[in-house]
């Protein structure tokens, strides 16, 4: 029997920006709320991977540092005094009965009427290239994300990739790094058009299209790189002190599949009301998929509000049915 003091209306799994907003909105809807986060701090990928990066696609902010955005989201989320547990990795989810969900962690079990999965960063790991010697230099000039720009001050930097993070990092490093080169293998960028225009009109040396990293030079640390054009076969050796591989993320969805959730492609399948195939379980943010899905913090915040509203309706329906 679950004690009432241990039973919550909504439990949110993942304290990234979407999870923080869901926590705030659940409080606004007068729900007894718990937030579980696997890392020792809130903020998800914004804090663990790029706290100094400027974010340009959040409603109401022409631009804002990732760390500042997390600070404001945290302040907003804490208004209604949710229970927050850090270093709490959810390893299992079970439906015990009508409106009773058990979330298992190494530290114990949590019980809730509804759960909202905003796992974000916890479900992603950086994609790696299969290049000889690359793994040996990780931590010695090879980066997959930048928690701080300071180690690259005055350095020659090569960024590999063409998405939003790669373009944003290249622009952010101008004036910090001695030289910035960006190599992109695709025929077009996957970043926002305005940022691509800014990149192409900046001092960043852009190697595009069809340029990719072929080999890394250096014994104890990175001293150079060989990039090559996949179409022409032409190689170019450049002197660099650091290489940032921004070539996407790999999603680990197996835990969610084991919980019985319906996985489609690279995400948890949700209906328009953010419900999953499990009763009382909802999801929002980068971890979900549906037709027209957009990977934006602003879009994820809207999904979080929808998930909370749907969860609240589910809770009220249960109370009326008693």
E-strand spans in 162-316? 179-183, 205-207, 211-217, 224-229, 235-239, 242-245, 249-251, 263-264, 267-269, 281-283, 288-289
pLDDT single digits (tens) 304-313: 999 999 999 9
In the chain, the number of structural domains is: 2
Residue with tokens 């990149």: 199
pLDDT at 210: 87
Q: What is the pLDDT of residues 102-139, one digit of tens each?
A: 999 999 999 999 999 998 645 667 788 888 888 888 88
- 2 has pLDDT over 70: no
The residue that leads in pLDDT, 240 or 49, is 240
* Residues 43, 103 within the same domain: yes
Domain span at 287: 4-124+249-320
- Among the listed residues 112, 87, 118, the one whose alpha carbon sits nearest the alpha carbon of residue 100: 112
In this predicted structure, what is the pLDDT of residue 280? Answer: 97
Read off the CATH number of the domain in which 43 is found: 3.50.50.60
pLDDT tens for each residue of 288-302: 999 999 989 999 999
The pLDDT, as a whole number, for residue 44 is: 86
Which pLDDT does position 118 carry in this prediction?
A: 96
Residue pLDDT, tens place only, 31-78? 999 999 998 999 988 888 888 888 888 989 998 999 999 999 999 999
Q: What pLDDT, on the 0 to 100 scale, is given for residue 123?
A: 61
53 and 189 inside one domain: no
Q: Which range, of 10-19, 119-128, 209-218, 306-315, averages the lowest pLDDT?
A: 119-128
Together in a domain, 11 and 27: yes
- Say which range, 18-22, 100-104, 109-113, 161-165, has the weakest mean pLDDT: 161-165
> Could you tell me if 142 and 216 are in contact, meaning their C-beta atoms sit under 8 angstroms apart?
yes
Predicted pLDDT of residue 129: 86
Three-state SS string over 144-166 comes to: CCCCCCHHHCCCEEEEECCCHHH
Instruction: Please say which residue of 204, 230, 245 terminates a domain.
Output: 245
**What integer pLDDT is reported at residue 120 of this predicted model?**
64
Residues 200 and 275 in one domain: no
What's the pTM?
Answer: 0.86
> What confidence tens digit (pLDDT) does each residue in 137-154 have?
888 999 988 888 999 999
Do 285 and 146 share a structural domain? no
Mean per-residue pLDDT for 192-220? 93
In this structure, the answer to whether residues 151 and 71 fall within a common structural domain is no
Domain boundary among 245, 260, 281: 245
Indicate if 205 and 221 belong to the same structural domain. yes
Same domain (yes/no): 143, 73:
no
Same domain, 165 and 253: no
Report, as an integer, the average pLDDT of 241-266: 89
Question: Which has the higher per-residue pLDDT, 321 or 287?
Answer: 287
pLDDT confidence of residue 52: 85
According to DSSP, the β-strands at 211-217 and 224-229 are: antiparallel
In angstroms, the Cα distances linking 260 to 7, 37, 91, 257, 263 are 22, 21, 13, 5, 9
């Amino acid at each position: 029997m679950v004690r009432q003091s241990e039973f919550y209306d909504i439990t949110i799994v993942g304290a990234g920006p979407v999870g923080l907003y869901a926590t705030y909105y659940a409080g606004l809807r007068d729900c007894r709320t718990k937030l579980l986060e696997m890392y020792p701090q809130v903020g998800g990928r914004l804090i663990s991977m790029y706290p100094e990066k400027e974010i340009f696609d959040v409603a109401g902010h022409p631009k804002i540092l990732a760390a500042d955005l997390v600070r404001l989201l945290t302040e907003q989320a804490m208004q209604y005094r949710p229970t927050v547990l850090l270093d709490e990795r959810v390893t299992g989810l079970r439906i015990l009965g009508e409106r009773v969900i058990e979330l298992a962690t190494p530290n114990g079990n949590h019980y809730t009427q509804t759960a909202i999965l905003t796992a974000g960063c916890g479900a992603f790991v950086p994609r790696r290239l299969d290049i000889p010697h690359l793994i040996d230099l990780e931590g010695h000039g090879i980066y997959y994300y930048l928690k701080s720009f300071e180690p690259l001050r005055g350095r020659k930097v090569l960024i590999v990739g063409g998405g939003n993070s790669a373009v944003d990092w290249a622009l952010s490093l101008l004036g910090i790094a001695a030289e910035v080169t960006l190599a992109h293998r695709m025929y077009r960028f996957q970043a926002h058009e305005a940022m691509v225009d800014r990149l192409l009109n900046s001092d960043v040396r852009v190697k595009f299209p069809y340029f990719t990293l072929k080999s890394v030079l250096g014994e104890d640390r990175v001293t150079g790189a060989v990039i090559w054009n996949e179409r022409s076969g032409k190689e170019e050796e450049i002197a660099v002190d650091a290489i940032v591989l921004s070539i996407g993320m790999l999603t680990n969805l197996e835990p969610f599949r084991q919980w019985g959730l319906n996985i489609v492609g690279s995400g948890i399948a949700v209906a328009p009301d953010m419900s999953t195939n499990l009763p009382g379980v909802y999801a929002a943010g980068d971890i979900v998929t549906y037709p027209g899905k957009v990977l934006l913090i602003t879009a994820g915040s809207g999904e979080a509000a929808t998930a909370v509203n749907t969860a609240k309706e589910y809770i009220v329906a249960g109370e009326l049915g008693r």
